[in-house]
Amino acid sequence: MLLYQHDVTGLGLEELERNAERDGTPVDPFARALMEGVAADPASLDDLITGAADGWTAERLAPLERNILRVAVHELLDWPDIPAAVSINEAVDLAKRYCQTEAAGLVNGILGRIASEQKLAS
C-alpha cells in the first residue's frame, strides 16, 4: 500500500512509512525490503511488465495493479527462495481483494508470462 501511495501522491516512502507507523501500522522488515527493492528500480520492473502485458503498458495500468505487479516481479527476480507460484498467487489474491474483477486475470497472465520468459520454476 505504501508503494501505491507513493505512486499516487509522490510523497517519499520514508514519510509514508512514518505516517503508517504513527497510525499504528508498523512496516515489518520483509515488507520494507520489498518496498526498497521495488523503489530501487521501478523503471526496469515496468519494462518487464510492459513487455509481458499484451497491448498494455505499465503506465496505463491502474496504480494499485501496477504496484502489485512491481512487488511480485521484484520477488520473482530477486527473491529466489520464494517459489514463483507463491509470488504469483499472492499477487493474484491481492488483486482479487483490492482491484476490479478482471485485474486478477491480468495480474496472473502478466506474472505467468514473466516467470516463463525468465525461466523461473513455479
What percent of the chain has a predicted confidence (pLDDT) above 70? Answer: 98
Q: Which domains does the chain have, with CATH numbers?
A: 2-117 (1.10.940.10)
**pLDDT for the residue numbered 54:** 86
pLDDT-derived band at 118 (thresholds 50, 70, 90) equals confident
- pLDDT over 60 at 122, yes or no: no
pLDDT digits (tens, 9 = 90+) for 20-57: 999 998 999 999 999 999 999 999 999 999 999 988 89
Mean pLDDT, rounded, for 59-70: 96
The separation between the first and the last C-alpha atoms of the chain, rounded to the nearest angstrom, is: 26
What mean pLDDT is reported for the chain? Answer: 93
List, as one string, the DSSP characters of 87-118: HHHHHHHHHHHHS-TTHHHHHHHHHHHHHHHT
* Whether 115 contacts 88, CB under 8 Å: yes
- pLDDT over 80 at 121, yes or no: no
**pLDDT for the residue numbered 119:** 79
